[in-house]
Chain A
Amino acid sequence: MAVDTNVLEAVIRGALPVTHLEIEDQSNGCGENYAIILVSEAFEGKTTLARHRWVNDLLKKEIAQMHAFSQKTFTPKQYEAYLAKNA
C-alpha cells in the first residue's frame, strides 16, 4: 500500500484543530487516490487557495506518492451550511 489513511489522519490531526475529518480512499485500496473533507476553525479568515496550500504542504510527502488528491476545506460554520444544503 502506497499511502495509509492512518498516516494522513495523524499528520492532519497533529497540525491543526480538527472539527471533522473524512478521508476517502477512492482507489480501491491501492493507496493512490484520496479525497478528504477537512473542517477546522483554523481555516477562519483564510482563502480556499491558502487552505489548500496549507494542507498540500502538510501532506507533501504523502501527496508525492499518490496519483490523485482532492480536498474540501471548511470552517465549522461553512460545513454546517454545506451539510444543510446537501441534506
Chain B
Amino acid sequence: MFRASINSSLGLLRPTLRTSLTPSRLQSLRFLSQETRAQLETAVKSSPVVLFMKGTPAAPQCGFSRAVVQILDMHGVPPEKLKTFNVLEDEELRSGIKEFSEWPTVPQVYVNGEFVGGCDILLGMHQSGELETLLVKGDVVEATPEAEPAATTASPS
C-alpha cells in the first residue's frame, strides 16, 4: 500500500519537472550568437582531439561520455592532444555545441577540427577499425605495429 502511494506521487512529480525545464529548452532554441559561434569554432580546433562531455575524463557524469573517454584512452590518444570540455559546467556551452554541431546529444568528438560523431559512432568506428585509421591519418596516434608493419622498421626522419 505504501509502495503504491510512493509510485503515484512520483508520477505527479514528472509533469512539474517538465514544466520547470521549459525555459532552458526555449533558450536552447535561440539562434546561436556570432560570439558563441566564434568561440566554439576556436574550441573545436583547440587540440587535435576535442571532446565535449558530461563531467571530466577522471569523473564522467554519464555512461556515454565515459564510454567515449575509454575508447579514446584505448587508442592511446595522449593527454596533450586531447582537450575536454565539461558541458555541465556551462549551460551556454551545452546548448551552443548542440546547435553548432547540429547534433542533439553529448558527448561529441572532434578530430582536427572536424566533427566525428557521438558515442554510437565512435563505438562503431572503434569496432570497424575506422577510428584507428582516422587517428593515425590525423597524426594523433602512432600506427600500432599490427596495423602498420612498416612502422617498426621506419627510422625517424
Interface residues of A (CB under 8 A from B): 2, 30, 48-49, 52-53, 56, 60, 63-64, 68-72
Taking a contact as CB atoms under 8 Å apart, the answer to whether B102 and A53 are in contact is yes
Closest-CB distance, B66 to chain A (whole angstroms): 13
A60 cross-chain contacts in B, Cβ below 8 A: 104
Q: Render B104-124 as a binary contact track against A, CB cut-off 8 A, 1 for contact.
A: 110000000001111111001
Given contacts A60-B104, A64-B104, contact A52 B117 (CB under 8 A): yes
Interface residues of B (CB under 8 A from A): 14, 18, 25, 28, 62, 64, 102-105, 115-121, 124-125
Taking a contact as CB atoms under 8 Å apart, the answer to whether A49 and B119 are in contact is no
Taking a contact as CB atoms under 8 Å apart, the answer to whether B18 and A56 are in contact is no
The residue in chain B whose Cβ has the minimal distance to the Cβ of A2 is B18
A63 cross-chain contacts in B, Cβ below 8 A: 104-105
Residue in B62, B104, B117 whose beta carbon sits within 8 Å of that of A49 in the complex: B117
B64 cross-chain contacts in A, Cβ below 8 A: 68, 70
Give the distance in Å from the alpha carbon of A56 to the alpha carbon of B102 in the complex: 9
Max chain A Cβ within 10 angstroms of own Cβ: one of B64, B102, B121? B121
Given contacts A63-B105, A69-B105, contact A49 B121 (CB under 8 A): yes
Taking a contact as CB atoms under 8 Å apart, the answer to whether A71 and B105 are in contact is no
Taking a contact as CB atoms under 8 Å apart, the answer to whether B120 and A56 are in contact is no
Residue in A30, A48, A70, A72 whose beta carbon sits within 8 Å of that of B14 in the complex: A30
A48 cross-chain contacts in B, Cβ below 8 A: 117, 121, 124-125
Give the distance in Å from the alpha carbon of A62 to the alpha carbon of B58 in the complex: 31
| A-B CB contact pairs (8 Å), 15 listed | A2-B18, A49-B116, A49-B121, A52-B118, A52-B121, A53-B102, A56-B103, A63-B104, A64-B104, A68-B64, A68-B105, A69-B104, A70-B120, A72-B120, A72-B124
B14 cross-chain contacts in A, Cβ below 8 A: 2, 30
Closest-CB distance, A24 to chain B (whole angstroms): 14
B115 cross-chain contacts in A, Cβ below 8 A: 49
